[in-house]
Structure formats: C-alpha cells, structure tokens
Amino acid sequence: MPQPITEQAEKIENLWVFTLIIALAVFFAVEGALIYAIIRFRKKSDELPPQTHGSTALEIVWTTIPVLIVIALFSYSFITLREVEKKAPEDALAIDVTGFQFSWEFVYNLNELGPGSDPNAEGSFSIIGTAAQEPTFVIPVGEPVEFRLKSNDVIHAFYIPSFLYKLDVVPGRDNRFVITAKETGEFTGQCAELCGLNHALMRFHVRVVEREEFDRWVAEQVQANASVRQP
Ligand SMILES: [Cu+2]
C-alpha cells in the first residue's frame, strides 16, 4: 500500500484501518461460530435433536451488534469525509489542473500562490505534459494546496496514490480538493479513468519541496515559461 504523505491521506488510512479491524472481527466471529456449529452439532445419530423456536435474548444481541457497527462506521466515515472534503482557505495555493487526451496541464496563477502572494498580481504560468515528456509540477510542504480539476474532452481521473485519494475530472464540472503535504519528495500520479487509446501515457509527477525552494522554482518558471502572460 502506498505511504500516505498528506494530512488528509492519514485520516483516510485511519478510517481504512478502523473498517478493516471491524471487518476482520466480524469475519472471525462468523466463521468461528460456523465452524464451531459444524463440528459441535454434526450428525451423530438418526435421532432428531431437541427443536428450539425463537430466543428473544439472542435476537436482541444479533440485531444490536450490527446496528452499533453500522452506526460506528457511518459516523467515522462521515467525520473523515468532512475533514477530507474541507474547503480551501481563502489564501491557499491553487492549481488549475486540466486533463486532456493524453496528458495534463498545471496552471499556477500568480495571485494564488499561497499565503503572502500578491492578490493583484496578474498572469500565470503552466506546466504542460506531452506524449514524450511526463509533466512534473511542484507544491510546498506543510501548506494547504487546492487542486481545481477541469477537462475539455472526456472524463479523466486525477490520482496520486500517495494521497490515497482520487477525483474524477469531468467536462463541465468544478471538482476540487485540498491536501496538505506532510513530507517532501517526488511522487507519481496517473489518470485513473480509461479515457482513450493513450490513457496509459497520462502519468505525471509531483515534487513536494520546502517553501523557499518552491518560491525559487516559481521564479524560474515565471522567467522561463513562454505562457506567462504579463499584464
Ligand atoms: Cu485520462
């Protein structure tokens, strides 16, 4: 399983482990009872064993336990989902991600580069992948980063396994999510929705770096990137 590298991914992993523990407990309880009953009450003679009808206590128990389990799973899932799908703070770094057949474009607006960036700054720069070159984009560690997903052709899915999270990129829909990376490094993502013949080429990379390095990278991009639109 991929190592979760965001605060949100950690919460998702905790929910997964919680669900797994309950599922294993139910599995072993049910299979254990089944195996016990098969051995303990196997046919020993042709005599009919004593017949019992109904047991209020037992029925209350086997109704109450599943209800409690469902309530626990529902509550914890609901709490986790609310955390994971929280809106981005006003001043968060925002990246416009466009999935297209068959790569990705990552657009950074100069007025949305995170806390402290000039709200009146105009222009943007973008990282565009090609069939020959998988795109790599950069985000700072320890800060909320919002991804706004767009598509102009078909449905893609933005998936970085280390985020333990995946969101469809749907034409005409404003799908967005926020993550806060906890560790630096380079991680690979890919399109996770079969979107055509060269779907498999839609790989991309994210580099998580310290803020200073991110600012340096932005400055380089602004200088080098031909698509920067100066006011
Ligand atoms: Cu795709």
- Looking up residue 183, the CATH number of its domain turns out to be 2.60.40.420
Asked whether the beta carbons of 126 and 108 are under 8 A apart, the reply is yes
pLDDT for 66-80, tens place per residue?
Answer: 999 999 999 999 999
Is residue 12 domain-shared with residue 104, that is, in the same domain? no
Is residue 111 domain-shared with residue 32, that is, in the same domain? no
204 lies in some domain: yes
DSSP state of 101: T
Is residue 98 domain-shared with residue 57, that is, in the same domain? no
229 lies in some domain: no
> What is the Å distance from ligand 1's center to 82 Cα?
27
**Going edge to edge, which strands form the sheet with 175-180?**
124-128, 103-109, 93-100, 144-151, 175-180
Asked whether the beta carbons of 165 and 179 are under 8 A apart, the reply is yes
Per-residue confidence (pLDDT) for residue 212, from 0 to 100: 95
- The DSSP result for 59-71, as a single string, is HHHHHHHHHHHHH
Q: Which domain holds residue 27?
A: 7-44+52-84
Q: What is the maximal distance between C-alpha atoms in the chain?
A: 94
Per-residue confidence (pLDDT) for residue 158, from 0 to 100: 97
Asked whether the beta carbons of 140 and 209 are under 8 A apart, the reply is yes
Per-residue confidence (pLDDT) for residue 161, from 0 to 100: 96
Is residue 156 domain-shared with residue 219, that is, in the same domain? yes
- The closest alpha carbon to 141, from 69, 105, 93, belongs to 93
> What is the Å distance from ligand 1's center to 98 Cα?
10
User: Which H helix or E strand runs over 212?
Assistant: helix 211-224
Amino acid identity for residue 142 in this structure: G
Is residue 61 domain-shared with residue 126, that is, in the same domain? no
Residues of the chain with pLDDT under 50: 231
Per-residue confidence (pLDDT) for residue 228, from 0 to 100: 56
35 lies in some domain: yes
> What is the Å distance from ligand 1's center to 148 Cα?
16
Work out the angle between the directed axes of helices 7-40 and 56-84 (0-180°, nearest 10).
160
* Average pLDDT of the chain to the nearest whole number: 93
Is residue 105 domain-shared with residue 177, that is, in the same domain? yes
Per-residue confidence (pLDDT) for residue 176, from 0 to 100: 95
> What is the Å distance from ligand 1's center to 69 Cα?
38
pLDDT for 43-94, tens place per residue?
Answer: 888 888 888 899 999 999 999 999 999 999 999 999 999 999 999 998 999 9
Integer Cα distance of 66 and 80 in angstroms = 21
Asked whether the beta carbons of 163 and 12 are under 8 A apart, the reply is no
Question: Global pTM?
Answer: 0.86
- Looking up residue 37, the CATH number of its domain turns out to be 1.10.287.90
- The closest alpha carbon to 137, from 82, 177, 96, belongs to 96
> What is the Å distance from ligand 1's center to 147 Cα?
16
34 lies in some domain: yes
Burial of residue 40 (CB within 10 Å: 0-12, 13-18, 19+) is exposed
List residues, by chain if needed, whose CB lies under 5 Å from ion ligand 1. 156, 191, 195, 202
> What is the Å distance from ligand 1's center to 196 Cα?
7
User: Which H helix or E strand runs over 82?
Assistant: helix 56-84
Q: What are phi and psi of 13, to 5 degrees?
A: -65, -40
> What is the Å distance from ligand 1's center to 100 Cα?
7
231 lies in some domain: no
Give the position of tokens 């991110």. Answer: 214
Number of structural domains in the chain: 2
Per-residue confidence (pLDDT) for residue 231, from 0 to 100: 45
